[in-house]
Structure 1
Amino acid sequence: MQTSSLAGLRARLRLPLIAAPMFLVSGIELVSAACASGVIGAFPTVNCRTPDELDSWLHEIAGRLARSSDASGEATAPVCPNLIVHRSNTRLHDDLAVLLRHRPELVITSVGSPAQVVAPLHDAGALVFADVVSIRHAERAAAAGADGLVLLTAGAGGQTGWLNPFAFVRAVRSFFAGPIVLAGGISDGVALRAAEVLGCDLAYMGTRFIATRESTADERYKAMLVESSADDVLLTSAFTGLPTSMLRPSIVAAGLDPDALPVRGAIEIGSDIDIGAREARPKRWRDVWSAGHATSGVTDIPTVAALVARTADEYGRAREGS
C-alpha cells in the first residue's frame, strides 16, 4: 500500500463511495461537488479534450476544493482521475505525465492491464485501482501491482462485466486482501451498506450521479433516467464491441430497434436508416445513452450535495439495523 493509504482516504470520506468516472458526464462541477460532499469524485481523463485541458481541470478542481475546505474547516474527499490504458488511447502517456505532475492520491485504470502505469504512479505516491470484469482479469491486475480492484459486475452502466456481484466479490476476496470496490446496481445507502457486508471497502455509484444538477449529461438524458427502470436497460455489444449497458428508449430515439441490433461489432449508428448527413447521425454516448440497473432508483434530479446527504441517511439507518 502506498503513502496515500486507504485508511487515510477513508478518514476523509462521509461515505465509502466513489462517484464513478463516466464518459461525457463527469466534469469539473460534478467531481468538485462530490469531493466537497465527502465522496471520491472520479472522472475519465479523456473527458478533457487535450492533456493541457486535463492539467487545467486538475488545477480548477484543486482550487475549488481548497476554497471549500477553507470555508467548512473540513478536509474534502480525494479526486480520482481514471486512465484508459487500452492501446487505442493514444493520449495515455501524455495524460499520465500530467497526473504525475499533479500527484493524485488515487487513480483508477480501465480497459486493460495497469502494469504499464503502476510503477510511475506509485512513485508519485498514488494508489492504483484497476477495474476488472472477470476472475482472470482480477488475478492479472493484482499480479501487476494494483492496490485495489474495481469489480464491474452485472448491472453496471457503460462497458461492464457479466458476473453476479455476490459470486464475483466472494471469489476475488478469497485471493485478494486489498481494497475491493463494487460497481453495479448501487443506487442508495442500503445497497452501499450491503456491499460492505459482502466484503467490499468502497462502491461505485454512477447512474444515480448522471441525474444530478451538476452532471454534464444532456437534460433529456437525465429526464429519461427518471422515467425509466431497470427493465429499460439493454446489455449489448452492438455499439462498442464489448458488453455495454444502454438505455432502450435512447436507442429507439436514435431510430434503431433495440431488439434487432447486431450481436457484436461497434455498429455505425444510423447506417441502416435515412437520417441525413454523416455529421448529423446520432453518436453512441452522446445520443445513445448508457445506464445501469440502478436506473430504477433514479426518481429525481437533485444536487450532488442533496444526493449524498440522502444516501448518508439511508446508509446510517442501514448500519443501525444491521
Structure 2
Amino acid sequence: MTAPALETPLTKLVGVRHPIVQTGMGWVAGPRLVSATANAGALGILASATMTVGQLRSAVREVKARTDAPFGVNLRADAADAPERVRIIVDEGVRVASFALAPSRELIARLKDAGVVVIPSIGARRHAEKVAAWGADAVLVQGGEGGGHTGSVASTVLLPQVVDAVEIPVIAAGGFFDGRGLVAALAYGAAGIAMGTRFLLTSDSTVPDAVKARYLLASVADVTVTTKVDGLPHRMLRSELVDALERSGRAAALGRALRHAAAFRRDSGLSWAQMVRDGISMKHGRELSWSQVLLAANTPMLLKASMVDGRTDLGVMASGQVAGLIDDLPSCAELVDRIMSEAAEVLSRLPRC
C-alpha cells in the first residue's frame, strides 16, 4: 500500500511527493540509488565529487532514463571544474543543486536564473544565515550524529537554531531513519529530513554486500569520530583500519596521503595543477593547514576501497550513528513507504488540543 503524501515547503519547492531526501554520498549515491529514491517519491541526490565531468553527464542521463521524477546533483563549490558541472546541471534540466560547502553568491544566482533549486548543506547557524542572504532556496542542516564530515552540535540543538534564524525551508539531517524522526523534525519546524546511512543500507544501494553486513552488525558504540583520515572530524564505523590510523604517526599519515592523492588524480582525471587549485580553495574555505589539505586526499580513495571494492580491511565506512539502529535492507520504495506510514501513525496518536 502506498503511504499518503505529506505536503511541506520542501515537497512544494522541489516537486516530490514525500519530504525525504537521500543525501549525495560519494561512491554510493549513483544512478541506481538516486533513481530508485526518486521513483519512491523522495528526492535523490547524485554524488558528483567522485566523478569526472564526463562521468557526471553520463550519470545524470542515466538517472533521467530511469525516472521522470525530480532529482538533484551534489557539487563541491570550491572545485576548479565547478562551472563545468553547473553547466551540465543546467543543460540537462536537473531540478536541484546541492552543495557540501557554501556556494558563492554568483554561483547561486547563476543556478537560480536557470531555474535550478539551490540547497547548500550547512553545519552552523551563521552559515545558514549567509547562504539564505545570498539567495539559497533551502538549507540542509546536519547535526553531529550524521555520517562523514560532521560537527559537534546535535541535531536537536542545531535544528531549532537554524529554523529560527532563516525564513527558507530547512531540511534536517543527522540521526534520522524512521517516521518518528520525520515527525520530530517537522515539530521543530523543519520541512523534511535527509538520510545517508539509511539509504546506503537499502537493496537499491550498490554498496557491496560484505560492507552492508558490517553496517548491520554495528551497534551505536561502534560508530566513532576520528580526525586521522583527513585531519577533519569524520564519523565512521570503527574498524581495524581506523584503529591502525589512530595509532599511526604524522609521517606515515602524510606518506599515505601522497599515495592516495596520486591514485585519486588518476581516477578523477584531474591534473596535479587542478588538484593544487582545489587544495588552495579548500584551505581558504575551511582555514586548514597544508598538512590537513594533503590528508584530505585520503578520503575519496579510502571510501572507494570499501564502498566500491568491498574491502572493509582497506577502506573506511562513513556512517551516521543510526547505523546501530538499522537491521534490514529494504528497497527505497519500501523504506519511503514505511517512513511515511509510520509518520502518519505517529501523527494520529498525538493528542489533539
TM range (shorter): 0.7 to 0.9
Counterparts in 2 of 1:174 and 1:30: CA distance versus 1, 3 Å? same
Alignment partner, residue 149 of structure 2: 159
**1:285 counterpart = 2:287:** no
State the secondary structure of the residue aligned to 2:26. coil
Shift of 1:290: 0.5
Q: Which has the higher contact order (CA 8 A, sep 6+)?
A: 2
**1:92 counterpart = 2:94:** no
Say whether the 8 Å CA contact 2:28–2:47 is kept in structure 1: no
Alignment partner, residue 71 of structure 1: none
| 2:208 partner amino acid | D
**1:20 counterpart = 2:23:** yes
State the secondary structure of the residue aligned to 2:33. helix
Alignment partner, residue 197 of structure 1: 187
| 1:55 partner amino acid | R
Shift of 1:90: 2.6
State the secondary structure of the residue aligned to 1:235. strand
Say whether the 8 Å CA contact 2:10–2:192 is kept in structure 1: no
Question: What is the alpha-carbon distance in structure 2 between the residues aligned to residue 289 and residue 126 of structure 1?
Answer: 32
User: Which of 71, 79, 84 in structure 2 is aligned with 1:79?
Assistant: 71
Alignment partner, residue 220 of structure 1: 210
Count of aligned positions: 293
What per-residue deviation string (whole Å, max 9, x for no partner) do you get for residues 110-166 of structure 1? Answer: 123442420111011011111111122222222222111111111101111221222
Say whether the 8 Å CA contact 2:22–2:196 is kept in structure 1: yes
**1:248 counterpart = 2:238:** yes
- Report the identity percentage: 28
User: Which of 171, 174, 183 in structure 2 is aligned with 1:184?
Assistant: 174
Counterparts in 2 of 1:93 and 1:156: CA distance versus 1, 3 Å? same
Counterparts in 2 of 1:255 and 1:243: CA distance versus 1, 3 Å? closer
State the secondary structure of the residue aligned to 1:284. helix
Say whether the 8 Å CA contact 1:230–1:292 is kept in structure 2: no
| 2:343 partner amino acid | Y
Say whether the 8 Å CA contact 2:225–2:233 is kept in structure 1: yes
Superposition pairs of residues 1-322 of structure 1, within 5 angstroms: 6=10, 8-9=12-13, 12-13=16-17, 15-48=18-51, 50-66=52-68, 76=69, 78-86=70-78, 89-249=79-239, 252=240, 254=241, 256-257=243-244, 260=247, 267=253, 283-286=301-304, 287-322=315-350
TM-score by length of 1: 0.83
| 2:145 partner amino acid | G
Counterparts in 2 of 1:220 and 1:268: CA distance versus 1, 3 Å? farther
TM-score by length of 2: 0.76
Say whether the 8 Å CA contact 1:213–1:302 is kept in structure 2: yes
Alignment partner, residue 72 of structure 1: none
| 1:8 partner amino acid | K
| 1:84 partner amino acid | R
Question: What is the alpha-carbon distance in structure 1 between the residues aligned to residue 252 and residue 21 of structure 2?
Answer: 29
- Structure 1: give runs of 5+ residues left out of the alignment: 67-75, 272-277
State the secondary structure of the residue aligned to 1:46. coil
| 1:309 partner amino acid | D
Counterparts in 2 of 1:268 and 1:207: CA distance versus 1, 3 Å? farther
Question: What is the alpha-carbon distance in structure 1 between the residues aligned to residue 97 and residue 318 of structure 2?
Answer: 23
Counterparts in 2 of 1:255 and 1:105: CA distance versus 1, 3 Å? closer
- Structure 2: give runs of 5+ residues left out of the alignment: 1-8, 264-297, 305-314
| 2:57 partner amino acid | D
Shift of 1:303: 1.7
Q: CA RMSD in A?
A: 2.6
Say whether the 8 Å CA contact 1:230–1:295 is kept in structure 2: yes
Question: What is the alpha-carbon distance in structure 2 between the residues aligned to residue 117 and residue 313 of structure 1?
Answer: 38
Say whether the 8 Å CA contact 2:14–2:96 is kept in structure 1: no
State the secondary structure of the residue aligned to 1:307. helix
| 1:257 partner amino acid | A
Question: What is the alpha-carbon distance in structure 1 between the residues aligned to residue 246 and residue 226 of structure 2?
Answer: 10
Counterparts in 2 of 1:186 and 1:173: CA distance versus 1, 3 Å? same
Alignment partner, residue 289 of structure 2: none
Question: What is the alpha-carbon distance in structure 1 between the residues aligned to residue 317 and residue 46 of structure 2?
Answer: 17
Counterparts in 2 of 1:60 and 1:113: CA distance versus 1, 3 Å? closer
